Amino acid sequence: MTDPLIGRPLCPDCYDYAGHVLWHAHAGPLWDRFVIGVRRHLASAAGIAQSRFPDHARLSFARVAEYQKRAAAHIHAVVRLDGPDGPTDEPPHWGTTDRLTDAVRASARRVVIRTPHSLAVGELALRWGVQVDARPLRSDGDGPDDDAVASYVAKYVTKGAGETGAGTDYRLTTWDDIQAACVSDHVRSLMRACWRLGGLPEFAPLRLRAWTHTLGYRGHILTKSRAYSTTYAALRADRAEHVSHDTALGTVTDARWRYVGSGHTPGAALIAAGVAADLAAGRDIARGALAAEGRKLSAGSG
């Protein structure tokens, strides 16, 4: 696994660098359509109208993008089916693990996004890869518990583009920045493809040049649906409240303040007066030395 050739194409001249970059740029829309497809498949299997799905169940997820050695984003996700009220509500009787797994696999096979036609690369059909690994996660002793699921997600959140060598942790704003980046030849070729495609008008909405440092992948490494768990705003509020109340036991806190005066305390005033006297004496000595030097110069010139 330490071979420097791992993750690099066997034939760099044959590699589809444009397709690689454009897939990264469309990873977000691909995921959105995948989630819609899972809901549709579940509704169809349960025999309910797609518009009525929220009345019966709610689909939640946490998604993490991991950069692999080949500089391609690999998606890890925890997908959960709850009742209509969210995590505290039991899923409907038809919402079994097998049915959810089937929906995930079926949606991953069907989702496709076509890029705008370009004279440079034509029209590309972007899909998920064929390697879809869907496994059930349980917290009843027959599978990973909540802590294991959290560790699974955190493992990939901490792996950024810079750590894997698949990009940089800072933005690249010029072609010369790409040349100077400390990356492999394969990654540099992806950056160049990103920069060139970013200059074409048909790909202007993708803002590829602004995302050259991530090889075209846009957005956050970690994304979750609102109902998957608590919101980030709630977490920030809880953290702020915890910090504000993080005081030692037995500490008395007085929230009422009153003005008691300004200036030095008696002790500090004595110290300040001594410092001022020392400074004044120093200035007097300096002035005297300069005056004596001036008199010597005057006597010498006469």
Give the least confident one: 157-171, 228-242, 265-279, 283-297.
Answer: 157-171
Q: What share of the chain is helix, strand, coil (3-state, %, to 5)?
A: 50, 10, 40
Question: What is the pTM (predicted TM-score) of this model?
Answer: 0.70
255 class by beta-carbon count within 10 Å (0-12 exposed, 13-18 middle, 19+ buried): exposed
The per-residue pLDDT for range 239-259, each reduced to its tens digit, is 787 777 655 555 666 666 777
Assess whether pLDDT exceeds 80 at residue 300.
no
Tokens of 246: 């993080």
Please provide residue 42's backbone torsions phi and psi, each rounded to the nearest 5 degrees: -65, -45
C-alpha 138: how far from chain center:
27
Q: CA-CA distance, 292 to 286, in Å (whole number)?
A: 10
Q: How many angstroms separate the CA atoms of 214 and 208, rounded?
A: 9
Question: Could you give the CA distance from residue 166 to residue 107 in angstroms, rounded to a whole number?
Answer: 28
d(CA 259, CA 192): 64
Summarize pLDDT for 4-26 with one digit per residue, the tens: 777 888 898 999 999 999 999 99
Token readout for 151 is: 């560790």
105 burial level (CB within 10 Å; 0-12, 13-18, 19+): middle
Task: Please classify residue 67 by burial: count the beta carbons closer than 10 Å to its beta carbon, then call 0-12 exposed, 13-18 middle and 19+ buried.
Answer: buried
Handedness of CA 120, 126, 130, 133 (dihedral sign): positive
- Tell me the per-residue pLDDT of 167-216, one tens digit each, with 9 for 90 and over: 888 899 999 999 999 999 999 999 999 999 999 999 999 999 999 999 99
- Taken in order 5, 7, 10, 11, is the CA torsion positive or negative? negative
